Structure 1
Amino acid sequence: MERSCLTSKKIVILGAGRRGLGLAKQLIEEHRDVVLIDNNPERIDLAISKLDCMGILGNGTDLAKLNEAGCADAESFIAVTDSDEINLVSCGMVSGSFKGVKTVATIRGLIYTGTEGLTEGLLGIDHIVNPNAEAAQYIYNIIDQGVYSDVIKFNNSNLMLYNLYIEQFSPYLGISLMDMRTKLKADFIIAAIHRKGKVFVPSGNTIIEAKDTISLVAETAEVSDILKAVGKIQKKPRKIALVGASKIARALLNSMTPAVRSKIAVIDQNPAICTLFSDRFPEILVIKADITDEDIMQTEQLTNYDLLIALTDNDELNVITASYAKRIGISKSMALVKQNNNYVRLASYLDIDVVISTTDTTVDSLLRYLRGTNVTSLHSLFNGQLEIFEFTINSTNKACGKKLSELNMRKKAIVAGLTTKKGEIVIPTGNITLNEGDRVLVAANRNSIDFIQNFFN
């Protein structure tokens, strides 16, 4: 179904839980008018006390409440409650009652969508996001890039973004970004610098300071060389242990080949679930055990694995398990967080390499859809201050047929990378011309998103 970039200021969100609040926060920072609907008075009170939004107490399947929320003149209606059924029915009601409003639903159950995703026109819903599938895809990408949370891979390109943190005694301290390029002997673009809590787009003469985080974009091979130059080795894990035979674990295994799955062990204490996984994935090793048992790590020789991923439905257990795995000698660990996003910030103190937030992966997917038809990927960095868009240039773009030096982006953003229609990777200079079918990576501050979307849509 055709979709366009955001045109109206109003977005109605059903569900003021973690995902609803996270999405609302980002949209409000973009100066959108957000209305939240929830049948829990405490959630509504929390939302309107924390965010500059309107809150409606009521049920999303009540047409009167949908009218009160202003669905008639909304650009989009997004249902993110914990109930698949409510999300489906409410989106169906909005689609049938308020013409022209885009409807988006988060749906976990494959019973509604099937393995191939949303059936065209189901209840008139424009788009469905599966939180489990989004988290599984994120984990798969992290594994593929060597379990570095500070390396971002893009959907349709061999370009990658690497966040380089400048230590107190870094050899790059006190030099310009231009000199840094010479030292690293690599071809890359600096998309942004995060300094003292703020993000800005630098120039070649910007001097690097201690505690800066520098976001640089380069081709995959160049990023590998940069990692080696700064003392990090990018190595994909061969043997992986999954703790918790959850839906996300199943989605992750489905995305892997039988050869990769043959190097994976799944640990779960539920005998029925263990049998299900053994039947569904005969290549994997299934261990029926309680991960909290004192000797389980040694008994099952889990220290021989390169990576442990804790995927149970218990946030605390996941964090503790991932942290303990590092202490007993497992090289890398990851933990899933579904309820408490504070654990994401605590991860570095607990020696966990990556914490996966289902809230963040779902919100990113929803924002990617809302951005427009030619946004093929989107990543938020530094607590949402910076966004990296991957745009496909079409014939109606203002940028189509122009050199980068001719584009007046008013210092609001930077074109950090380009993949031509033929698949060639280009690190941009002012003389590069953008052509129809090219895909560009654009880094923009949060307050410049409207401008950039209008520029490239």
Structure 2
Amino acid sequence: MGLAKQLIVDGKDVVLIDNSHERIESAVSKLDCLGILGNGTDIAKLLEADIEHAQAFIAVTNSDEINLVSCGLVSSSYPQVKTVAAIRSLIYTGADGLKEGLLGIDYIVNPNAETARSIFNIIEQGVNGNVLGFTNSKLLLYNFFIEPFSSYVGSTVMEMRNKLQAEFVIASINRRGLVIVPSGNTTIQARDTLSIVADSEEVTDILKTVGQLQKKPNNMVLVGASRITRALLNRMSPSMRSKVAVVDQDEEVCRNFSERFREILVIKADITDEDIMAEEQLGSYDLLVALTDNDELNIITASYAKRIGVDRSIALIKQNNNYTRMASYLDIDVVISTTDTTVESLLRYLRGTNVSSIHTLFNDQLEVYEFVVRAESLVCNKQLKDINMRKKAIVAGLTDRAGNSTIPTGLTALKEGDTVLVAVMRDSSEFIQKLFG
């Protein structure tokens, strides 16, 4: 339903097909969409949804087989319709992804791989839930809350840059729930949340200055030997894995992980055993990541870990996104939603091949795009001062083809192959996509 909501806000007409009467009723009551009770592999239901006139068909059920078959059916019958499938099992895709053209599917997203990638990036950035990274850029986005006693209260954006003595752009300000794109003369107020874009080294310096620098964890424990755990370990180097412990109660799963990842410590135990935390000295770890298939267990484990001395914790949410709102009250540092990471991947594809990253902030009011400038783009070879973004967006960062990241000025010209970070108000996102597309 999260993807449907995003597409509806984008102005798309959405038809949902689901075999659950309750889910259809819930979606139709909350969203401006049509609902059809049935299965995506039923050609009659596809015709009822007017599939022949659709731009895209997206299969994101919990069944890989249904997603594959329904996309294959649409692709063979209606080749003009883009097909997108969520596939979780490596049996179908292999370790390197699905072979291009198989069943005619245009785009495959692996929710487990997307979630593992997000967790890995968060660990690399010091497990700071306020820091977001991008695919092709060393620039980071940092959400900085202005305390009432902060020395920055009353300063303009330009004055704050001078005080911090760092190169950065304030891409947006969330002020009491209302998001604005600031100018250099915008005054900073108490309890503002500033979205700051800067080079990774500059962000580190800023975090040091405001006392919020988090060191990268030295050792970590992963609770639950799930598919996401496996994907996360595959992303780690052998030296990084040597500092990892994995806890799971299934003996065969533990044996498989021990054989596959020789560097890690595997602990066969039930994490709900009240003595296991003390016996295995889990409180001495810098980070605990709860990755079981049970949302409630992940939330409880991540919260309890902080109480026994673990510096930071991450909890995985796979089913109920409502749990993400509870994290700040339970002292959990970061909550990762499989649904959110999957939706971001799908939106990257649906919004154009030159979109390499997208982050949605502040209850969907703001989007931050990572665009690759193409020769045919309307902004190519133009200076920023000559690009009219209607005061609804700001180019917050640029990375050239050589990998050099800079904070742009009005005189900066956008060249083919440059990667630019653009923060845009949601109601102007379609205009910005056309401008940079």
- Normalising by structure 1, we get a TM-score of 0.95
**What is the percent sequence identity of the aligned residues?**
67
- Unaligned 5+ runs, structure 1: 1-20
SS at match of 2:14: strand
Amino acid at match of 1:281: F
1:288 aligns with 2:268: yes
Shift of 1:383: 2.1
Please report how far the alpha carbon of residue 29 of structure 1 lies from its aligned counterpart in structure 2 after TM superposition: 1.1
Give the one of 46, 58, 76 matched to 1:96. 76
Alignment pair present for 1:201 and 2:181: yes
**Counterpart in 2 of 1:453?**
433
Residue type of the alignment partner of 1:126: D
1:356 to 331, 336, 353: 336
Which residue of structure 2 aligns with residue 247 of structure 1? 227
Instruction: Give the whole-Å Cα distance in 2 for the aligned partners of 1:335 and 1:437.
Output: 37
> Which secondary structure state, in structure 1, belongs to the residue aligned with residue 194 of structure 2?
strand
Give yes or no for the alignment of 1:409 onto 2:359: no
1:177 aligns with 2:174: no
Letter of the 1:309 counterpart? V
Q: Is the 8 A contact 1:159 1:417 kept in 2?
A: yes
SS at match of 1:218: strand
Deviation of 1:250 (Å): 0.5
| Alpha-carbon offset, residue 70 of structure 1 | 1.3
Distance in 2 separating the partners of 1:332 and 1:121: 43
2:88 — aligned with what? Answer: 108
Q: Which amino acid aligns with 1:92?
A: G
Report deviation, 1:219.
Answer: 0.5
How far apart are the structure 2 equivalents of 1:100 and 1:113? 24
Separation in structure 1 between the aligned mates of residue 175 and residue 75 of structure 2, nearest angstrom: 44
CA distance in 2, matches of 1:43, 1:154: 34
* In structure 1, distance between residues paired with 2:122 and 2:277: 24
Q: Could you tell me which residue of structure 1 aligns to residue 280 of structure 2?
A: 300
1:118–1:127 contact (8 Å) kept in structure 2: no
Distance 1:322 1:146 in 2: 17
The 2-side partners of 1:67 and 1:197 are apart by: 42
Rounded to whole Å, the distance in 2 between the matches of 1:269 and 1:383 is 38
Alignment partner, residue 31 of structure 2:
51
Please point out which of 232, 235, 255 is paired with 1:275: 255
Question: Which residue number in structure 2 is paired with residue 320 of structure 1?
Answer: 300
1:264 aligns with 2:244: yes
C-alpha RMSD of the superposition: 0.8
The residue that corresponds to 1:329 in the other structure is: 309
CA distances 1:309-349 after superposition (whole Å, capped 9, x unpaired): 00011111111111111111110100001111121111111
| Deviation for aligned residue 1:425 | 1.4
Amino acid at match of 1:62: D
Supply the distance in 2 between the matched residues of 1:286 and 1:425 (Cα, whole angstroms): 40
**Quick one: distance in 2 between partners of 1:86 and 1:197?**
40
8 Å CA contact 1:79–1:91 kept in 2: the answer is: yes
Are 1:166 and 2:166 counterparts? no
1:382 corresponds, among 362, 373, 377, to 362
Aligned to 1:70: 50
How far apart are residue 169 of structure 1 and its match?
1.4
Alpha-carbon distance in 2 for matches of 1:121, 1:250: 27
Runs of 4+ displaced beyond 6 Å = none
Q: CA deviation at 1:404?
A: 0.4
- Give the letter aligned to residue 127 of structure 1: Y
Deviations 1:423-447 (A, max 9, x none): 2212110001111111100111111
Q: Secondary structure at the match of 2:332?
A: coil
**1:234 CA drift (Å):** 2.8
Superimposed CA distance per residue, residues 1-35 of structure 1 (whole angstroms, 9 cap, x where no aligned partner):
xxxxxxxxxxxxxxxxxxxx000011111111111
Is the partner of 1:422 in helix, strand or coil?
A: coil
The aligned counterpart of 1:428 is 408
Gaps of 5+ in 2: none
Equivalence for 1:3: none
Equivalent pairs counted in the alignment come to: 437
What are the superposed Cα offsets for residues 147-200 of structure 1, whole Å, 9 maximum, x if unpaired?
011101111111110000111211211211111111111110111111121211
The whole-number CA distance in structure 2 between the counterparts of 1:234 and 1:346 is 22
CA distance in 1, matches of 2:237, 2:358: 26
Amino acid at match of 2:426: R
Structure 1 position 82 matched with structure 2 position 62: yes
Which of residues 35, 43, 49 is equivalent to 2:15? 35
Cα deviations across residues 225-261 of structure 1 (Å, max 9, x unaligned)? 0000110123110101001011100100011111110
Once the two structures are TM-superposed, the CA of residue 99 in structure 1 deviates from its matched residue by 2.3
Q: Distance in 2 between matches of 1:178 and 1:392?
A: 28
Q: What are the Cα deviations for residues 280-314 of structure 1, in whole angstroms up to 9, with x where unaligned? A: 11110000111111111111011221000000111
Residue 18 of structure 1: aligned partner: none
